Structure 1
Amino acid sequence: MYTLTVSENILKMVCGLGVLQGMLLAALIYFHPKGDKSVNFFLALFIISVSAVIALPYLVQTFGWQHSFFLQGIPLLPGPFLYLYIRSFKETITLKKAWPHFILFFVWLIPTYYNIAKFSKLYPGAEMIPVEVLRRPTTILLVMGRPAISVIYYFLARRELIRYQRSIRHLFSETSRIDLNWTRFLVNGFLIVAGVFFITFPLILTLPDKVFLLLLVSMAVGVPYIYMATYLGIKQYTIWQVQPGINKEATEATIQQAEEIEENNGTHDTNGQKTKPVKPAPIDNRLELLVQRIIVLMEEEKLYQEAELTLQQVAAKLQVPSYQVSQALNEGMKKNFYDVVNNYRVENAKRLLLDEKSRNYTILSIGFEAGFNSKTTFNTVFKKFTGTTPTEFRDKQNALTTAS
């Protein structure tokens, strides 16, 4: 009978606690009163599936490797759940959209069953899976295929995150509340967790007497990842939370159109780098008129001074669908909503910084007057458009005035 070492017992305890707390944290995510259940549903399932992967060595030991074929598809679940979670940021995920991503889970069970059934007859009394079984080409293919599929889903999730990141700039003039830094951590962390097994399995083949220890080490890596995913997931705002009561169908249509515009214009590649744009079609009279109305709202009514101005608010003011406003901005002004509004804010801030009447105003008060909602956002956006911070801009202009 195989006896666990002290190190294995400690790691087993760590993994066990991680699995138990992962289940509890998934429930916390889903039932959090301020959370968005339509989005957090997939994050909760992602955390549960990662917890199940961490529990895999223990489950295999409990049921016996000869009867564990039904457990072997579990590592294929986190990737689809992560991908669907990112997609749920911008669209409603129906069963029709979700189920194709889990076909592979069930298909994987068939060759796994036959592979385990074949070797369990040869080694019926073995408590640990024999190294001869692990070194079989079919076993290697089935085992290494799982993290390979996870890597594919990493790239799919990353692509959706990049597309979402661009699309929110077509809807919002202020995006600090929809910070995606933690989501990037979640996606990139998943690649690391999946990559650990690429390293672990060759070590298992080299050190077969350390199979259980190596499995526990690789699974223990996922425990802090679960904690961080939960903590940061609770803090993540979605567009549905930033704009309560938003028309989901209209917003989804606007996001889809924004993505199509970005792709058709060829403004970025999958890594966010600029590429050669496609020559745009001439703008029609209807959109040209709408552009003029938008300019009036910004220049005469100074709508940009509303700190959290959204595309939907502008559309409501103009009494036209939001997708038409987005189209007018992209085709008529060759800018997204975020850049249009913040360009007006920066220009207004520059005038205030140079105005003698506002010489005694603080940088923060000028930022608020221009339409920014915080000093951090003001500095970031101002530097993006001018290459300098507001303070540097004012000091430089004052120095030039003094010198002249």
Structure 2
Amino acid sequence: MNGEFLKLLISIQFLVYLFASFKVWLQHSVMIQNYYASLEKIRINWLRNILIGMCFIYLISLSSFVFTGAEILKLAPLLGAVLIYVTAYLGMKHSRLFATAEVMEPSPAHFQQKNDNYRNSTLGEDRKQEILFKMKDCMQHEKLFTDNKLTLPKLAARMEVSTHHLSQVLNENLGQTFFDYVNEFRVKEVQKLMIDPAYAHYSLLGMAMEAGFNSKSAFNTAFKKHTQQTPLEYRNSFQQKHEIKSDPIGKGASW
């Protein structure tokens, strides 16, 4: 009886740690979108997959309270051992994530409390509009979005404003994360390059790299989010419209 009770306590403890781990992962996912303009090298989706694997093992272990002696229960220790080795391998593979960052990264709690902090902010509407103007100028004229390592502190330093005020303006005035704001400019830049004869020999991925994207998947995801079309669909539809305008009577068509 005492053994079963101890197993139950361990299961509850494991569930609490699992829940806390998922919470930290979700906070991290939110935080990086407010801090970075490119996420490919800092996403930890592999850790999410490990947590899902732990959930699976937990469910198998939990079934021991109902199906005593079942053959499937023998899988739990084996799967647990495999998961430990996979975690160690992925941890070493992504060891850069644990290195000291070039710029000190705020904790997830920092972003969790931002909305509450904004209520006490002394940032007036005139100052907000000034920050918006400077931010737009940095994007449209200096094209800072083409820097694929652009971060919120980098942009704030260029604008000579605090990261807190810049983040507040993005969230309150534009309703966007830093990640979405920068990628919107990158997508518009690719759209311009598509009709620029000087870039006619570029591939879509080449244009994306010129605009600041650093991977094909990030480019495709952002482009579809902001245009509701894939890059290829957008380019083909634009080319079709251009052909129709340049040949309004339908050259070569049968009458």
Q: Same fold (TM over 0.5)?
A: yes
Question: Do 1:342 and 1:381's aligned partners in 2 also have CA atoms closer than 8 Å?
Answer: yes
Deviations 1:250-309 (A, max 9, x none): x33xx43432347999xxxxxxxxxxxxxxxx9633233222211111111111111111
Q: Which of 255, 259, 281 is matched with 2:112 structurally?
A: 259
- SS of the aligned residue for 2:67 comes to helix
Matched, 1:304 2:145: yes
Q: Which of 217, 222, 226 is matched with 1:385 structurally?
A: 226
Matched, 1:155 2:26: no
Structure 1 counterpart of 2:30: 166
Q: Which of 154, 169, 191 is matched with 1:313 structurally?
A: 154
Letter of the 2:166 partner, please give it: V
Distance 2:117 2:225 in 1: 25
Structure 2 counterpart of 1:31: none
Deviations 1:352-372 (A, max 9, x none): 113344333221221122111
Question: Do 1:291 and 1:328's aligned partners in 2 also have CA atoms closer than 8 Å?
Answer: yes
Letter of the 2:173 partner, please give it: G
User: Which one has a bigger Cα radius of gyration?
Assistant: 1
**Structure 2 vs 1, CA of residues 183 and 344 (structure 1 numbering), >3 Å: closer, same or farther?**
same
Distance 2:124 2:23 in 1: 30
Structure 2 counterpart of 1:175: 39
**Structure 2 vs 1, CA of residues 148 and 179 (structure 1 numbering), >3 Å: closer, same or farther?**
same
Distance 1:364 1:260 in 2: 38
**Gap runs ≥5 in structure 1:** 1-135, 266-281
Q: Which of 225, 229, 232 is matched with 2:83 structurally?
A: 225
- SS of the aligned residue for 2:24 comes to helix
Greater relative contact order structure (CA < 8 Å, 6+ sep): 2
Q: Which of 171, 175, 187 is matched with 1:330 structurally?
A: 171
Spell out the pairing of 1:25-104 with structure 2 (5 A cutoff): none
Structure 2 counterpart of 1:247: 104
Structure 1 counterpart of 2:190: 349
Matched, 1:395 2:241: no
Deviations 1:26-45 (A, max 9, x none): xxxxxxxxxxxxxxxxxxxx
Question: Do 1:147 and 1:195's aligned partners in 2 also have CA atoms closer than 8 Å?
Answer: no
Distance 1:370 1:341 in 2: 10
> How much is the aligned-residue C-alpha RMSD, in angstroms?
2.7
Q: What is the aligned residue count?
A: 241
Cα deviation, residue 171, structure 1 = 0.6
Structure 1 counterpart of 2:50: 186
**Gap runs ≥5 in structure 2:** 246-255
**Structure 2 vs 1, CA of residues 257 and 324 (structure 1 numbering), >3 Å: closer, same or farther?**
farther
**Percent identical:** 26
Runs of 4+ off more than 6 Å = 262-265
Q: Scaled by the length of structure 1, what TM-score is found?
A: 0.54
Question: Do 1:283 and 1:332's aligned partners in 2 also have CA atoms closer than 8 Å?
Answer: no
Question: Do 1:178 and 1:237's aligned partners in 2 also have CA atoms closer than 8 Å?
Answer: no
Question: Do 1:291 and 1:333's aligned partners in 2 also have CA atoms closer than 8 Å?
Answer: no
Structure 1 stretch displaced more, 149-158 or 345-354: 149-158
Deviations 1:68-104 (A, max 9, x none): xxxxxxxxxxxxxxxxxxxxxxxxxxxxxxxxxxxxx
Cα deviation, residue 376, structure 1 = 2.9
Question: Do 1:349 and 1:370's aligned partners in 2 also have CA atoms closer than 8 Å?
Answer: yes
- SS of the aligned residue for 1:308 comes to coil
